[in-house]
Chain A
């Protein structure tokens, strides 16, 4: 469960402050697949960074999995981030190592044993359709394959929450659909997914809950139920289904 309660975020120093997020409140229940939409600069990435604990809100409160961020020391917020998976538009792969080592990085950070790493990384690659490509160099892969490696890396530690920032932004329609199907598969397996995108084709293609941002404010939510507080209710099942 992700809860935002009147959260604001401003960048810049005193006198030159620019509001990136302006008093936003919403809930995302466990196991949901939610789109975060809005034009470029609407605050989507800032919102994801707030959830990931990469930014500290100027005001308001954020709860993730019942943990109140404001009460945590930075080290604990970093530890909390290890329980999330992050996917980026530019996939952020490290080009000085092979695919295996890229995917293994979250496991090394999380102090997983070598036997776990050796078992989980090929499984994650297999899951995203890149089985046997562990020894390949990321630079030799296509854009879609690189994005899959990014997804494998985000999911190899089996997080409960997946934050994806424009993961299909650099991909053509076919590849976007493949990536989206992959994310939906993970959502089926119980992973909460929050996907930031302004890809209208993708949004029209999938009937899924969405939060729309405009100039840092919450301009809309569909359906209303998905954004209502749901602390007391058990984790609902998937809140959307692929139309295709």
Chain B
């Protein structure tokens, strides 16, 4: 297909108000390639860090939802109980107050799990019979955030379960789950704070870039004003420049963080496997993929608005 009709269409569009603004914005970026590249790089790096933190938060959040990472109580049954009886007890316990769900782990499943362990595999192989009892993993209802209250509720549950007939031992380990929860919670807060700071930085960079552009192209705005241009006509190219900076920086940040994610994928997958989680998907959720450029775009527009109409705005001499 010939490019002439396209060129004609572009020329025609470039002489409408919005097309003119877009053409001027692109020209602004193109005429100063070094300055544009530096600004885009700074913005992309500033946006890439929160993007990476978002990816990490998403991955850790998924891991924390795994059964192995949820607070649980393990009830070891009397070895005399059959798997059928054990499964029945698991179903029965699932309907008790304070219990969200249960999972029965048969004797054979317990043996198979231990045989996969390097240290115990050989020892268990030398034993004739399966010495392991069946067990029921009990997941309590959602626990309160306060560690003391959570501990009290689990304690009451353990006490009730210990008194049940056919129960040999009750085992729970809340402390490490609490620690992990506290670390994840701290990471979440740090992520939010750091993200807010970095976004504020991006906003300042874009606002300042637009302010400098306004100073550099003051004459153009004054001429437009003298020729009877409306404020929106004068300001729109700068708004579009901010939006372009934000959007391009968002896309660059996304690309950077995807590269970083690909680099850490192998060790992250190993870590996830250790905690019973799945391997990291190749791509983060679509919502996150869209969110990062969208945040960049929003920051670009907001930064441009602050440069245009904020307290340090650059006024045009020709204006009344």
Contacts and interface: CB of A to CB of B under 8 A. Distances in A.
Interface stretch (B121-129, B180-188, B223-231): B223-231
B15 A78 contact: no
Contacts of B320: 53-56, 74, 77
A172 to B, nearest CB: 25
A109 B224 contact: yes
Contacts of A81: 226-228
Contacts of A117: 15
Question: Across chains A and B, which 9 residue pairs bring their CB atoms closest together, nearest first?
Answer: A82-B228, A81-B228, A114-B12, A109-B229, A106-B227, A114-B15, A92-B223, A108-B20, A117-B15
A75 B27 contact: no
B171 interface: no
A167 to B, nearest CB: 14
Given A56-B320, A78-B229, A153-B227, 5 more contacts: A78-B230, A80-B228, A86-B227, A105-B227, A108-B20
Chain B interface main SS type: helix
B17 interface: yes
Contacts of B227: 81-82, 86, 105-106, 109, 153
Contacts of B219: 92, 94
A153 B226 CA distance: 12
30 contacts: A52-B226, A53-B320, A54-B319, A54-B320, A56-B320, A75-B230, A77-B320, A78-B230, A79-B228, A80-B228, A81-B227, A81-B228, A82-B228, A84-B228, A86-B226, A92-B222, A92-B226, A94-B219, A96-B27, A104-B15, A105-B223, A105-B224, A107-B15, A108-B15, A109-B224, A109-B228, A109-B229, A109-B233, A110-B228, A117-B15
Interface of B: 11-12, 15-17, 20, 27, 31, 219-220, 222-230, 233, 318-320
Contacts, number: 65
A106 B27 contact: no
Nearest to A90: B219
A79 B228 CA distance: 6
A78 B318 CA distance: 11
Contacts of B222: 92
A88 to B, nearest CB: 8
Interface string A42-73: 00000000001111100000000000000000
Contact of B220 (A54, A55, A94, A107): A94
Interface of A: 52-56, 74-75, 77-84, 86, 88, 92, 94, 96, 104-111, 114, 117, 153
Contacts of A75: 230
The residue among B27, B223, B224, B230 with the most chain A CB atoms within 10 A of its own CB is: B223
Contact of A111 (B17, B220, B223, B225): B17
A228 B4 CA distance: 58
A56 B320 CA distance: 7
The residue among B31, B227, B319 with the most chain A CB atoms within 10 A of its own CB is: B227
Contact of B228 (A56, A106, A153): A106
The residue among A54, A79, A83 with the most chain B CB atoms within 10 A of its own CB is: A54
A45 B47 CA distance: 49
B91 to A, nearest CB: 74
A75 B220 CA distance: 19
Given A74-B320, A94-B219, A96-B31, A54 B226 contact: yes
A105 to B, nearest CB: 6
Contacts of B12: 114
A96 B224 CA distance: 14
Nearest to A52: B226
A114 B230 contact: no
A53 B228 CA distance: 10
B23 to A, nearest CB: 10
A53 B319 CA distance: 9
A3 B272 CA distance: 82
B136 to A, nearest CB: 75
B215 to A, nearest CB: 15
A57 to B, nearest CB: 11
A74 B230 CA distance: 10
Contacts of A110: 228
A78 B230 CA distance: 7
Contacts of B16: 108, 111, 114
B172 to A, nearest CB: 72
A114 B17 contact: no
A114 B11 contact: yes
A103 B242 CA distance: 27
A141 B224 CA distance: 22
